[in-house]
Amino acid sequence: MVVRTGSVRVVGSLAAGATALAAASWGLVARGGGATAAAAAAQAAVAPVAAGTGQTPAALALLVGIDVYAPSGRGDDLAPLDGPRNDVARARALLQERFGFAADQIVELLGPQATHQAIVQRFHEHLIARAEPQTKVVFWFSGHGSHVPDASGRDGSAGVDAAIASDQTLVAYDSRAVDPDGGYDLTDDQLYSLLAALRAEDVLVVTDCCHSGGVLRGGPRALGVRECRAGTVPLARERLAAFWPADVPLLDDDQHGDLPAVVQIAACSAAEEAGELVLSDGTFGTLTWFLTKALGEVDPRAAWGEVTAQVRANVAGLGTRPGQRVAMVGDERRAVFGGTGRPVPKGFLVDRDGVRDFRIAAGSLFGITEGAEFTLLALDGTDVGTARAERVWTGHCKATWTGSGEVPRVALRAEPKALGTGQLRLRVALEGIDAARLDDCPWVVVTPPPEAEYVLRPDGGRLGLFDHHGHRVQETADDRAALRDAFSVEHRFRTLWEGVAAPGRHRLDLAIEPVDAAEAQQRKLPPARLSRGGARGAGARPGAVAAAGAYEGRDRGGGLAWLRVVNRSSEDLFVAVLSATETREVNVLIGRSADNLLRAGQERRKLILLGRDPQWPADLPLVDRYVAIATPRYVNFAPFESKAAVGLVRGGDYEAMPPFLRQALGGTRTRGDMDRPAWGIATFDVQVVTDRAFDEARAALGL
């Protein structure tokens, strides 16, 4: 995956009846008649995938649905499922009726057809061999899911508390007949390898099975649960020799990079079970029912993150496993099937946790304390009520509905309304502006000029926010919503920029390293000219200078480099790496989902593109700061990003480390451990300069 930094850019036999039923279910086809006017308008809103010409198909899909499984021969056969065939029919109808997939572009494997070998071979023949970069690709699996021991001992997708490292698996029709102990399940490593071999740049993977969040429904019959007994042995790779494609390297998914082309929507996390939804019209996977419904109604500007949020809200509390939480891996900002896309709504993700309770993905790490109040917003920005934080953890809080009436069953985001106790604000002086304009900015305190960190004043028909050096760091329209956004961007930037003083207990190494010429040539981008990029311990911030020369067809200069982070701790940790640049743009480079667990001694690399914003003065270096944060449990850092901005709280003056990091990452204190917080931070700065200034800057730094 190539990520742009400087101004960061992310650069990786029911057929007829069930099809009619499925189409009717999301409103495309009225029962007994043609489409309604509203449904027709909705259908027309999304342009269908254009028909392919020649040998390059516009779209390809492989749909797998397994309701019955081959007997194991030892009396512990897999429980049959009621929904997978219906899932496939519903998914096919969606792709054909809403998104214009041609019938011959969709391959189905149902029941006994869906053997381990058949899934692999059809994936290779239908998807890998035929798809070109512009082809839209879909792989949809409905059936049992499980997990088996990871032969390498490294895979942590089941969670840091798992007793053993596990591979999550899709259970093929004959998996447990060949090996009842799980050695013939289709593992996450295999699926990763097949996906990595695709040339397509827009890939959707849907896994409606248990533990599916760990692949990018047993034992005693558990009605409608898509899980089977966990395997006790790793994948026997020698069994794949007869059919595994020779041109597809078999990779370990935890040892290789992200798949930037892939968005995966999973029925649940790696540690959860997925269920089925029993309706009068039949039984369906809970995920498949609500995902197809959402995609049937989706606005053409929607992104996958927005769709997933809506599905999560609808799935919560329903089906045979009401506790399942829909998971997503990949770029949540990517547009649905090549639509125009729109930014992920502002605010923190909200999950239901009962009738009136919520789990909000905002904890002390983001400045939230007990008593904090949130405004709950629908995805269109409508204010639907409020909630109050009752308990706060590092990365999330439990909040209770304080609005009037019933909690609406829609996807929600939460924005801080009041921050709770013990939090300081940014100090802002006002010139010619009424202080009431900042009433919607709870993290700002109006301060006299001598003590202020910023000045807000009219500037060329708009408002300008100036720092204590007199530099304009933000400009905004003169309205409350715009001011709120501007200050939230500044808070996010400042917390990352300054919150790096205390390294914590766990050591991380963070480095920028050169890309060799052959690799750069393969990616058709030039390598960055780096003056220095050696690894340093936690808390250190050595400097490097990188040249960002212009290259043809691009509006910004840039060069490729490797970003490398190593967990030098003796403990397994979730490690995220964020970048912040002086242009006030922040991005999560590593750790956008819970697959960022690094075992002790393990490293992860990310290919990045060091570049300069064209608006930045040519004679000034542009400083990029990279911040690696290690936590004992997964924390969602996406709200830091520019396009998902929320208000964050900067800390006091007594330490450079803001309280939101110093208090949150410190975790629960215990006797004898007062000075050993259970987290780690490492940072690295890069001065990005033009080619012309590179040698001069390098000499000035003595490098």
AA letter at 29? V
More confident residue, 151 or 66: 66
Q: What is the 3-state secondary structure (H, E, C) of 463-474?
A: EEEEECCCCEEE
| Tokens read off for 206 | 């849907």
| Beta bridge partner(s), residue 544 | 686
Q: Beta strand pairing status for 357-360 and 348-352?
A: antiparallel
Q: Which 8-state DSSP code applies to residue 335? A: B
| Tokens read off for 458 | 């009219």
Q: What is the pLDDT of residue 24?
A: 31
Q: What is the pLDDT of residue 565?
A: 93
Whether 411 and 442 share a structural domain: no
More confident residue, 300 or 234: 234
Reference 649, options 657, 659, 636, 641; nearest CA is 659
Domain end among 270, 304, 338: 338
More confident residue, 245 or 662: 245
Whether 2 is covered by a domain: the verdict is: no
Ranges of H-type helices in 197-271: none
Q: What is the pLDDT of residue 457?
A: 93
Q: What is the pLDDT of residue 70?
A: 93
Whether 491 is covered by a domain: the verdict is: no
Q: Which residues contact 112 (CB under 8 A, 6 or more apart)?
A: 68, 70, 173
Q: What is the pLDDT of residue 139?
A: 97
More confident residue, 667 or 303: 303
Give one word for 382, left, alpha or beta, with left for phi > 0 and alpha for psi -120 to 50: beta
Most confident among 45-59, 116-130, 584-598 (mean pLDDT): 116-130
CA dihedral sign, ordered 476, 478, 480, 481 = negative
Q: How confident is the model at residue 660 (pLDDT cuts 50, 70, 90)?
A: very low
Whether 362 and 410 share a structural domain: yes
Q: What is the pLDDT of residue 44?
A: 34
Whether 139 and 277 share a structural domain: yes
pLDDT tens digits, 546-563: 765 544 344 455 788 889
Whether 490 is covered by a domain: the verdict is: no
Most confident among 41-55, 122-136, 173-187, 520-534 (mean pLDDT): 122-136
Query: Counting Cβ atoms within 10 Å, is residue 674 exposed (0-12), middle (13-18) or buried (19+)?
Result: exposed
Q: What is the pLDDT of residue 450?
A: 80
Q: What is the pLDDT of residue 65?
A: 96
Whether 88 and 142 share a structural domain: yes
Mean pLDDT of the 83-94 span: 92
Whether 5 is covered by a domain: the verdict is: no
Is the pLDDT score of 458 beyond 60?
yes
Q: How confident is the model at residue 702 (pLDDT cuts 50, 70, 90)?
A: low
Mean pLDDT of the 501-514 span: 78
Q: What is the pLDDT of residue 698?
A: 60
Q: What is the pLDDT of residue 584?
A: 76
More confident residue, 115 or 595: 115
| Tokens read off for 668 | 């629960």
| Tokens read off for 324 | 């399942």
| Tokens read off for 253 | 């998914």
Mean pLDDT of the 201-226 span: 61
- Could you tell me what percent of the chain has a pLDDT over 90? 20
Is the pLDDT score of 53 beyond 60?
no
AA letter at 482? A
AA letter at 388? R
For residue 355, what is the domain's CATH number? 2.40.10
Q: What is the pLDDT of residue 103?
A: 93
pLDDT tens digits, 490-499: 876 776 666 5
Query: Counting Cβ atoms within 10 Å, is residue 403 exposed (0-12), middle (13-18) or buried (19+)?
Result: middle
More confident residue, 366 or 72: 72
| Beta bridge partner(s), residue 266 | 207, 327
- Could you tell me what percent of the chain has a pLDDT over 70? 70
| Tokens read off for 600 | 């002790």
Q: What is the pLDDT of residue 215?
A: 53
Lowest mean pLDDT among 86-90, 250-254, 372-376, 639-643: 639-643
Whether 512 and 405 share a structural domain: no
Q: How confident is the model at residue 255 (pLDDT cuts 50, 70, 90)?
A: low
More confident residue, 32 or 156: 156
For residue 111, what is the domain's CATH number? 3.40.50.1460
More confident residue, 508 or 467: 508
More confident residue, 54 or 223: 54
Whether 198 is covered by a domain: the verdict is: yes
Helices 286-297 & 84-97, crossing angle to 10 degrees?
10
Q: What is the pLDDT of residue 345?
A: 60
Domain end among 338, 361, 386: 338
Is the pLDDT score of 269 beyond 60?
yes
Average of per-residue pLDDT values in the chain: 74
Whether 140 and 77 share a structural domain: yes
Mean pLDDT of the 533-541 span: 44
Whether 456 and 582 share a structural domain: no
Most confident among 127-131, 182-186, 601-605, 655-659 (mean pLDDT): 127-131
pLDDT tens digits, 162-179: 445 677 889 999 999 999
Q: What is the pLDDT of residue 381?
A: 76
Domain end among 311, 338, 365: 338
Ranges of H-type helices in 298-440: 304-315
Query: Counting Cβ atoms within 10 Å, is residue 301 exposed (0-12), middle (13-18) or buried (19+)?
Result: middle
Is the pLDDT score of 425 beyond 90?
no
Number of domains in the chain: 4
d(CA 590, CA 679): 17
Q: How confident is the model at residue 102 (pLDDT cuts 50, 70, 90)?
A: very high
Whether 75 and 180 share a structural domain: yes
More confident residue, 523 or 577: 577
Mean pLDDT of the 89-116 span: 92
pLDDT tens digits, 444-456: 888 888 888 899 9
Mean pLDDT of the 57-65 span: 96
Q: Which residues contact 702 (CB under 8 A, 6 or more apart)?
A: none
Whether 517 and 604 share a structural domain: yes
Q: What is the pLDDT of residue 291?
A: 93
Q: How confident is the model at residue 400 (pLDDT cuts 50, 70, 90)?
A: very high
Q: What is the pLDDT of residue 54?
A: 54
Question: Which residue's entry shows tokens 């542009």?
Answer: 622
Q: How confident is the model at residue 588 (pLDDT cuts 50, 70, 90)?
A: confident
Whether 499 is covered by a domain: the verdict is: no
Distances (CA, A) of 300 to 27, 158, 335, 392, 471: 16, 35, 8, 37, 39
Q: Which domain holds residue 366?
A: 348-418
Whether 220 and 99 share a structural domain: yes
Query: Counting Cβ atoms within 10 Å, is residue 12 exposed (0-12), middle (13-18) or buried (19+)?
Result: middle
Whether 436 and 403 share a structural domain: no
| Tokens read off for 121 | 């071979």
Q: What is the pLDDT of residue 499?
A: 55
Lowest mean pLDDT among 104-118, 240-254, 480-494, 640-654: 640-654
Q: What is the pLDDT of residue 632?
A: 79
Whether 281 and 190 share a structural domain: yes
Geometric angle at alpha carbon 671, from 666 and 675, rounded to 5°: 40
Is the pLDDT score of 104 beyond 70?
yes
Whether 8 is covered by a domain: the verdict is: no
- What do you get for the CA distance between the two ends of the chain, in Å? 30
Lowest mean pLDDT among 120-134, 449-463, 503-517: 503-517
Whether 104 is covered by a domain: the verdict is: yes
pLDDT tens digits, 305-349: 888 888 888 887 676 777 788 888 888 888 898 774 455 567 787
Q: What is the pLDDT of residue 182?
A: 86
How far out from the chain centre does Cα 401 lie?
Answer: 27
Mean pLDDT of the 268-284 span: 77
